[in-house]
């Protein structure tokens, strides 16, 4: 019997629930010291306390603002350069080799340079996030536009479309699926880099709670922050996926 | 009256390898000309040169009185090539941008009705069958009212029943719009059903090996003796290896009925 519409999501909950139960038993029975592994109940308690004190909202706001700014900058630059290199083979020949080499620099390796250039406050963090977001957006849009089916381009040719109209009416719409993949990948990397940036030195945000929990020996705060990161990351991905699905509803895919 | 299409010395080479021509040809306005020949003989290159998708190495192509712009040529490919993100209506209006919205809507509705899909305007291409999609492609080529329509084996990917239906649709459209059409096929029944004139091409390099005006009854009766006789002679022309690329005017074929 294949899982139905309702049993399939339920199936996905079984393993996490079993793990959660095991975690509660192990931690509750004191098999692992509480300074290493807090019980789930303690984590929930911490989350409730953080929500009530307003700390949670403040932290999510701080982290979300950094991410949003970095995402807008990185995705914006990735969109402009990706479109340019996708359309123009000269721009591609000029810029793409450089982009490909910069891409192979692990993004965290930029941190010291960004701190030297931009200081230890917001600008360096946002720049780091933007760098993380930039590459997936750039790569997907560039290859999406450059690799549009020649057969569709010819339809534009026989209709006498100018280069600009060909871009607007054929290449950009055809590249949308790849672009949506790039944006989602960029947002995922954005979350990764915002946590790294905040771990490296911040006075607020979810990454600060992670660091603070470690420094002050409160693992329940670390676990709570991890859960919040996961939850927020999932929410942004679901939102982007929903927006993307509207943009590319025309795709003839098995998932549709 | 000016020829719908006037071609002199049209030739195309890839590097030093000639693939087409030289070709001289004049087509009368409002006729359907079918170009037939074996695979790889240069038919598609010929049509792509006419449509501006290939740049000829030499020669002259004049469409109508010579003032026709690229956008005034319709082109139907072997595959529908619809924009998958546009609805059927918006695909049909693809070549109508720049016209007032009302005229656009009218032209789209008219073209869709003529290909027998008056209700399909809001569908997406992924919801269409192969035959429906190719009808939409026909409507897209016809909606702007082009001076000339080029069709590159438009029905070859369809099953035989759908193909015959499509041939009927094409004749119906031709009666309505009266557009000059040049169509490539490798199917002799199709050539004899649709063509006022049949150009047999041999190659490479693609040369005109026969030029026939079947003058059969319309709609064609495929079991009629003249149809069968025409087909037999056409087969002879296609299988013949032309010597020196000479043309066979086969007057006996044009005088059959």
B180 and B223, same domain (yes or no): yes
- Count of helices and strands (H, E) across chain B: 8, 9
Q: Which tokens belong to A152? A: 């569709």
B55 lies in a domain? Answer: yes
> Where among B122, B145, B168 does a domain terminate?
B145
Instruction: Indicate the number of domains in chain B.
Output: 2
| B79 in a structural domain | no
Examine the domain organization and report whether B104 and B181 are in the same domain. no
User: Is pLDDT of B231 > 90?
Assistant: no
Task: Decide if pLDDT at B254 tops 50.
Answer: no
Inter-chain residue contact B70 with A176, CB threshold 8 Å: no
The verdict on a CB contact (< 8 Å) between B94 and A159 is yes
Distance CA A124, CA B135 (A): 57
Do B105 and B172 share a domain, yes or no? no
Cβ separation A152–B95 shorter than 8 A: no
Predicted local distance difference test score (pLDDT) of residue B68: 64
Residues B172 and B241 in one domain: yes
Closest residue, chain B, to A173 (C-alpha): B85
Rounded Cα gap, residues A205 and A209, in angstroms: 7
Q: What share of chain A is helix, strand, coil (3-state, %, to 5)?
A: 80, 0, 20
The whole-angstrom separation of Cα B103 and Cα A206 is: 58
How far apart CA A43 and CA A56 sit, in angstroms, is 13
Tell me the C-alpha distance between B236 and A245, whole Å: 56
B39 and B126 share one domain? no
CATH number at residue B190: 3.40.50.300
Better pLDDT: B67 or B171: B171
Do B107 and B225 fall into the same domain?
A: no
User: Is residue A90 classed exposed, middle or buried when 0-12, 13-18 and 19+ CB atoms within 10 A define those classes?
Assistant: exposed
Tens of pLDDT along B139-198?
999 888 888 899 998 888 888 888 888 888 888 888 888 889 999 988 888 888 888 888
User: In this predicted structure, what is the pLDDT of residue B244?
Assistant: 46
Q: Pull the structure tokens for residue B72.
A: 């005034």
Q: Which CATH number fits domain A38-247: 1.10.3720.10, 3.30.420.60, 3.30.110.30, 3.30.360.10?
A: 1.10.3720.10
Q: Taking each helix axis from N to C terminus, what angle separates A172-199 and A55-87, rounded to the nearest 10 degrees?
A: 140
Q: Does residue B83 register a pLDDT over 90?
A: yes
Residue B117 shares a structural domain with residue B162: no
In the three-class reduction of DSSP (H, G, I as helix; E, B as strand; rest coil), residue B244 is classed as coil
DSSP string, B202-214: ETTTBEEEEEE--
Please, what is the Cα angle at A112 between A111 and A118, to 5 degrees? 80
Nearest CA among A20, A96, A38, A79 for reference residue A220: A38
- Same-domain pairing of B34 and B132: no
Confidence of residue B2 (pLDDT cuts 50, 70, 90): low
Chosen from A149, A150, A154, A155 to mutate, greatest number of chain B CBs within 10 A: A155
pLDDT band of residue B56 (cuts 50, 70, 90) is: confident
Q: Cβ distance A219 to A35 under 8 Å? A: yes
Q: Which residues of chain A have pLDDT under 70?
A: 1-4, 253-256
What are the residue ranges spanned by the domains of chain A? Answer: 38-247
In chain B, what residues touch A160 (CB-CB under 8 Å)?
A: 69-71
Residues of B within an 8 Å Cβ radius of A: 51-53, 69-71, 73-75, 77, 79, 81, 83-86, 94-95, 97, 124-126
pLDDT band, very low/low/confident/very high, at B245 (cuts 50, 70, 90): very low
Tell me: do B140 and B154 sit in the same domain: no
Determine the Cα–Cα distance for residues B115 and A189; give it in Å rounded to an integer.
50
Query: Are B180 and B222 part of one and the same domain?
Result: yes
Which residue range is the domain that position B216 belongs to? 1-7+21-68+147-257
Please list the residues that pair with B184 across neighbouring strands.
Answer: B35, B152
SS3 assignment, position B75 = strand
């Amino acid at each position: 019997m294949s899982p139905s519409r309702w049993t399939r999501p339920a199936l996905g909950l079984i393993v996490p629930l079993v793990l959660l139960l095991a975690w509660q038993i192990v931690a509750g029975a004191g098999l692992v010291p509480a300074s290493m592994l807090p019980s789930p109940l303690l984590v929930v308690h911490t989350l409730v306390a953080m929500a009530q004190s307003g700390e949670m909202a403040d932290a999510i706001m701080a982290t979300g603002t950094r991410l949003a700014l970095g995402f807008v900058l990185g995705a914006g630059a990735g969109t402009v350069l990706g479109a340019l290199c996708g359309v123009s083979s000269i721009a591609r020949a000029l810029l793409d080799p450089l982009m490909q080499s910069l891409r192979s620099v692990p993004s965290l390796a930029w941190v010291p340079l960004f701190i030297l250039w931009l200081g230890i406050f917001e600008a360096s963090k946002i720049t780091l996030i933007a760098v993380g977001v930039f590459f997936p957006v750039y790569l997907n849009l560039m290859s999406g536009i450059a690799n549009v089916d020649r057969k569709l381009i010819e339809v534009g040719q026989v209709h006498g479309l100018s280069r600009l109209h060909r871009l607007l009416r054929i290449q950009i719409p055809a590249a949308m699926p790849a672009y949506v993949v790039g944006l989602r990948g960029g947002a995922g990397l954005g979350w990764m880099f915002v946590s790294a940036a905040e771990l490296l030195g911040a006075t607020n945000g979810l990454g600060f709670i992670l660091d603070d929990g470690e420094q002050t020996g409160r693992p329940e705060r670390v676990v709570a922050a991890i859960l919040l990161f996961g939850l927020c990351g999932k929410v942004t991905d679901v939102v982007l996926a929903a927006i993307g699905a509207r943009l590319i509803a025309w795709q003839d895919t098995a998932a549709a | 009256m000016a020829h719908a299409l006037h071609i002199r010395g049209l030739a195309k080479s890839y590097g030093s390898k000639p693939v087409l021509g030289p070709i001289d040809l004049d087509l009368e306005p409002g006729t359907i000309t079918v170009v037939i020949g074996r695979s790889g003989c240069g038919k598609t290159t010929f049509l792509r040169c006419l449509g501006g998708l290939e740049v000829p190495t030499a020669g002259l192509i004049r469409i109508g009185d010579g003032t026709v712009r690229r956008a005034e040529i319709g082109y139907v490919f072997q595959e529908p090539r619809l924009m998958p993100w546009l609805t059927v209506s918006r695909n049909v209006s693809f070549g109508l941008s720049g016209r007032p919205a009302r005229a656009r809507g009218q032209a789209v509705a008219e073209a869709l009705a003529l290909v027998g899909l008056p209700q399909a305007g809001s569908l997406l291409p992924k919801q269409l069958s192969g035959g429906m999609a190719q009808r939409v492609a026909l409507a897209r080529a016809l909606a702007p009212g082009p001076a000339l329509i080029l069709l590159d084996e438009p029905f070859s990917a369809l099953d035989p029943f759908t193909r015959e239906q499509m041939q009927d649709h094409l004749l119906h459209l031709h009666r309505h719009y009266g557009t000059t059409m040049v169509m490539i096929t490798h199917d002799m029944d199709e050539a004899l059903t649709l063509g006022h004139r049949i150009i047999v091409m041999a190659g490479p390099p693609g040369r005109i090996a026969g030029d026939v005006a079947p003058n059969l009854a319309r709609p064609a009766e495929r079991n009629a003796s003249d149809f069968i006789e025409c087909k037999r002679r056409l087969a002879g022309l296609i299988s013949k290896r032309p010597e020196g690329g000479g043309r066979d005017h086969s007057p006996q074929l044009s005088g059959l009925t």
